[in-house]
């Protein structure tokens, strides 16, 4: 029997009593509905090979290779491996790998014309302390906006690239760094739940269309202040064997980025899209 336990008031659910290698469509349907409801779903205690993780991930949508080629699994381009090759040949800690996802709250794939529907991680190695992942609801962020901002943002479009205003492209190969900007509405209606969300990413947005640079930067600053609502948040402390999936259309996340660097923290990661590329 599947058991769904809520983790936070608005976001996060844990699924108990399943082996994702042996799920019929009805059981998967329950997990999928819990995910639409809770934005972030944890399935603990899984023992998976890469093929098992890919097969399960494909039930959520189209698994697509990440643009960071240097962190792809050598034999499985759709799998990104987080937390390996942290130390360079000179022994120095590579901060782009160690702090991946920790520089700010974000949503994955906002730089893509067809942003990621979901990201899913499977924990292979977990440090003795630190290394949590934090999540927050974009629905809660939207609902927290004052009416004046909701009106001002109605119909507004943001311009996004991989590295954003900071040009943070260390994980991309040199030839991939000249990114073509893409456009997304800042208030986005979730295609499956019909709910409105503040679709925003201060690390990837370049500007908000139709505003001059100063106004755009000021609005970006102001919106950043609404992204995280305490009631809409959940913090995940990893256990080996956890699978966590989040919905990039209605949640933000951030790695804590604070674990002892000499310890392993390793995940397989997939990006899942709504459509085939
Ligand atoms: O390692 C983590 O906790 C999350 C990193 C991240 O932002 C991602 O994988 O998209
Ligand atoms: Fe991320």
Can you give the pLDDT at residue 267? 98
Measure the CA–CA gap between 222 and 172, rounded to whole angstroms: 29
Can you give the pLDDT at residue 266? 98
Nearest atom, ligand 1, residue 101 CA:
7
What distance in angstroms lies between residue 31's CA and the mean position of ligand 2's atoms? 22
Can you give the pLDDT at residue 139? 98
- The CATH superfamily assigned to 3-273 is Clavaminate synthase-like (3.60.130.10)
Measure the CA–CA gap between 75 and 141, rounded to whole angstroms: 39
Residue whose CA is closest, atom 2 of ligand 1? 255
Measure the CA–CA gap between 203 and 200, rounded to whole angstroms: 9
Residue whose CA is closest, atom 5 of ligand 1? 101
Can you give the pLDDT at residue 152? 95
Summarised one tens digit per residue, pLDDT across range 46-98 is 999 999 999 999 999 999 999 999 999 999 999 999 999 999 999 999 999 99
Can you give the pLDDT at residue 114? 94
Burial class (CB in 10 A: 0-12, 13-18, 19+), 51: exposed
Sites in the chain below the pLDDT cut of 70: none
Compute CA distances 2 → 42, 85, 104, whole Å: 13, 37, 34
Q: Which two tokens stand for residue 276?
A: 């085939």
Q: Which two tokens stand for residue 224?
A: 């950043």
Q: Residue 134 CA: which ligand is closest?
A: 1
Any residues with Cβ below 6 Å from ligand 1, and which? 82, 100-101, 108, 119, 133, 253, 255, 269
67, 68, 98, 101, best to mutate for ligand 1 pocket (most atoms within 8 Å of CB): 101
The DSSP string of 137-206 is: EHHHHHHHS-HHHHHHHTT-EEEE-SSGGGT--TTS-GGG-SPPPEEEESEEE-TTT--EEE---TTTEE
- pTM score: 0.97
Can you give the pLDDT at residue 166? 87
């Amino acid at each position: 029997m599947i058991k769904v336990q809520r983790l936070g008031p608005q976001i996060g659910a844990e699924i108990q009593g399943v082996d994702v290698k042996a799920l019929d469509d009805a059981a998967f349907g329950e997990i999928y509905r819990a995910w639409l409801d809770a934005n972030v779903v944890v399935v603990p205690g899984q023992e998976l090979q890469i093929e098992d993780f890919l097969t399960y991930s494909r039930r959520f949508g189209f698994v697509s290779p990440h643009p960071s080629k240097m962190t792809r699994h050598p034999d499985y381009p759709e799998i990104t491996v987080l937390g390996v090759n942290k130390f360079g040949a000179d022994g120095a800690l590579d901060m782009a790998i160690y702090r991946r996802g920790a520089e700010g709250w974000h949503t994955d794939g906002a730089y893509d014309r067809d942003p990621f529907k979901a990201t899913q991680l499977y924990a292979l190695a977990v440090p003795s302390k630190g290394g949590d992942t934090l999540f927050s609801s974009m629905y809660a962020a939207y609902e927290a906006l004052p009416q004046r901002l909701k009106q001002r943002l109605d119909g507004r479009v943001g311009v996004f690239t991989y590295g954003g205003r900071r040009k943070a492209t260390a994980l991309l190969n040199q030839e991939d760094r000249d990114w073509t900007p893409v456009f997304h509405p800042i208030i986005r209606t979730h295609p499956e739940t019909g709910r409105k969300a503040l679709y925003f990413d201060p690390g990837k947005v370049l500007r908000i269309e139709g505003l001059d640079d100063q106004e755009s930067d000021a609005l970006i600053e102001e919106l950043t202040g609404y992204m995280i609502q305490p009631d809409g948040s959940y913090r995940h402390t990893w256990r080996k064997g956890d699978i966590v999936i989040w919905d990039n259309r209605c949640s933000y996340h951030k790695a804590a980025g604070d674990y002892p660097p000499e310890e392993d923290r390793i995940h397989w990661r997939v990006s899942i899209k709504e459509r085939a590329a």
